[in-house]
Chains A and B, each alone.
With several copies, the nearest count.
Chain A
């Protein structure tokens, strides 16, 4: 049943107990987005260090389980990573949701892989695609600001 695919245990957990919520200390970049259709909001804060690594990041947001889980999973996935990894994983993620593609990046741990693919059920719910991708697009905007 598709609905169970969409609302998997992992997603419900991240939706209810989002990780890295709030405004992280000493952030260097931030960006926000707003889904005018449903009112979902996300604001991402991150601390880029000299090596172009995300030393710390966090988010503030309101929204549905999918959008909160997506933001929460995002923060877990990219924390401590460098920009080239982040770009790849973010592309992969968006491709998975939008174009039903497989995740190709191979530097994810099995755990991370399970977590990130838990969102793949969104593929079947076109009106929810934006809920899942918004945080990831916002991450990229945050990186581009300075």
Chain B
């Protein structure tokens, strides 16, 4: 599949926004879906739908096989060692909540430290906050430097012998900083500290290999990877799958249930309570196929090229302030324009068909640190191209015109 013509694979681009072609620069929020994924959902519901893992009739068998085959596919895609390291969740948020809850229950006590960074999305802070308020744990923040990066030395500095877990983002959804996660994991391993990676922004834009990264937990949101809504993946190293207590309780995750006691299922099953998102899981395989057909490295370098082109344009505009200048930038570009509030920018850009996001992007702590209440964010997906960046940068000039600045 050629990236050049890739917009055609995404039905959403057939429509006009305010009479103009859609320039979708909100992929860090959620990506659009290729036709293969959408079609798989309908096709599955139309011809193969059944609840999985519970019945022995033909439809149930087919659905279960398809469903479990996706677990294998994900295992292979992220290079996990065991299929039971793949846990299906509602999203990255649920994945991180699961770890905070199950790990926290067993291993976090009063005074224990949880190390995060100032870059974290609320999803990778609020769940740990619960352990702070309920168990008296301490949250430490590795500081972001003036480039919007978190350096390995800063992480090193914050580790103490009370550090029980490190929870860090792979790529910042604001500064775009790509953190040196493999190195951080190495550092943590020396001290036997488990590491959770919030891979929400990492997984759609980079080659992720659990053996190379070496982390204990890696959380993914499928809807940002050209996949369906309502599905996430939590990679959990086998030793933790075996060791941690279950999360939500319900059907499918039990072994034996009596009036006075309950024993739980083993493997990933322990963490998958209730009816699973069968159609979502099945269609996510198509999203992975789509990515594989193009090649994640090709996607990443294409996105990078588009991003750099856009950055170059914006840098020439003296009224535009680009947030962060990290060593390696993921496909995110946050900015402000002098005397125009990001919210107003987003509205004016939208009038030109350009979809961006404005606000704190669920990163209030980082915005506090930056001393800005809100920023505007353009984020790139495989379907964006340089033309999009031209329209985007023209539209920014239009903002300045409307606001006469």
Are B61 and A127 in contact (CB-based, < 8 A)?
Answer: yes
**Which of A22-30, A62-70, A109-117 contacts its partner?**
A62-70
* Contact partners of B348 in chain A: CB under 8 A: 3, 7
Contact A127 B265, CB 8 Å, known A3-B402, A39-B373? no
19 additional contacts (CB under 8 A) given A127-B55, A127-B61? A3-B348, A3-B402, A7-B344, A7-B402, A12-B403, A12-B404, A36-B265, A38-B343, A38-B359, A38-B360, A38-B374, A39-B367, A40-B343, A63-B373, A64-B342, A66-B343, A126-B61, A127-B56, A128-B347
* Residue numbers in A under 8 Å from B265 (CB-CB): 36
Instruction: Tell me the count of chain A residues lying within 8 A, CB to CB, of chain B.
Output: 25
Query: Assuming the A-B contacts A36-B265, A128-B56, are A64 and B403 also in contact, with contact meaning beta carbons closer than 8 angstroms in the complex?
Result: no
Q: Which of B53, B65, B351, B404 contacts A3 (CB 8 A)?
A: B351
Residues of B within 8 A of A6 (CB): 347
B344 touches A37 (CB 8 A): no
Partner of A39, one of B53, B340, B347, B359: B359
- Give the chain A neighbours of B367 by CB distance below 8 A: 39
Which chain A residue has the least Cβ–Cβ distance from B62? A126
A131 within 8 A of B: yes
B residues 63-82 near A (Cβ < 8 Å) are 64-65
- Tell me if A98 counts as interface (CB < 8 A to partner B): no
Q: Mark A95-133, 1 if CB is under 8 A from B, else 0.
A: 000000000000000000000000000000111100100
User: Is the CB of A144 closer than 8 A to any CB of chain B?
Assistant: no
Q: B71 CB to closest chain A CB, in angstroms?
A: 15
A16 contacts chain B at the CB level, 8 A cutoff? yes
Residues of A contacting B126 in the complex (Cβ-Cβ under 8 angstroms): none
Whole-angstrom distance between the alpha carbons of A7 and B345 in the complex? 12
Chain A minimum-CB-distance residue to B18:
A2
Q: List 18 A-B contacts (CB under 8 A).
A: A3-B351, A4-B402, A6-B347, A7-B344, A7-B403, A12-B404, A36-B254, A38-B56, A38-B359, A39-B373, A64-B342, A64-B343, A65-B341, A65-B403, A127-B56, A127-B61, A128-B343, A128-B347
List the A residue with the shortest CB-CB distance to B264. Answer: A36
**B contacts with A: majority SS:** mixed
For residue A102, give the distance in angstroms from its CB to the closest CB of chain B: 24
Q: Is A41 an interface residue (CB 8 A)?
A: yes
Bound Cα distance A140, B123 (Å): 34
Between A7, A64, A131, the greatest number of chain B beta carbons within 10 A of the residue's beta carbon is seen for A64
* Partner pick for B60 among A39, A127, A131, CB 8 A cutoff: A127
Could you say which of B53, B56, B61, B364 has the most chain A C-beta atoms within 10 Å of its C-beta? Answer: B56
Instruction: Determine the chain B residues whose CB is within 8 A of the CB of A127 once the complex forms.
Output: 55-56, 60-61, 64, 347
Within 8 Å of chain B (Cβ to Cβ): is A34? yes
Shortest A103–chain B CB gap in Å is 24
Residue B134 is within 8 A (CB to CB) of chain A in the complex: no
Cβ-defined contact, B339 with A38, below 8 A: no
CB neighbors of A among B107-160 (8 A):
none
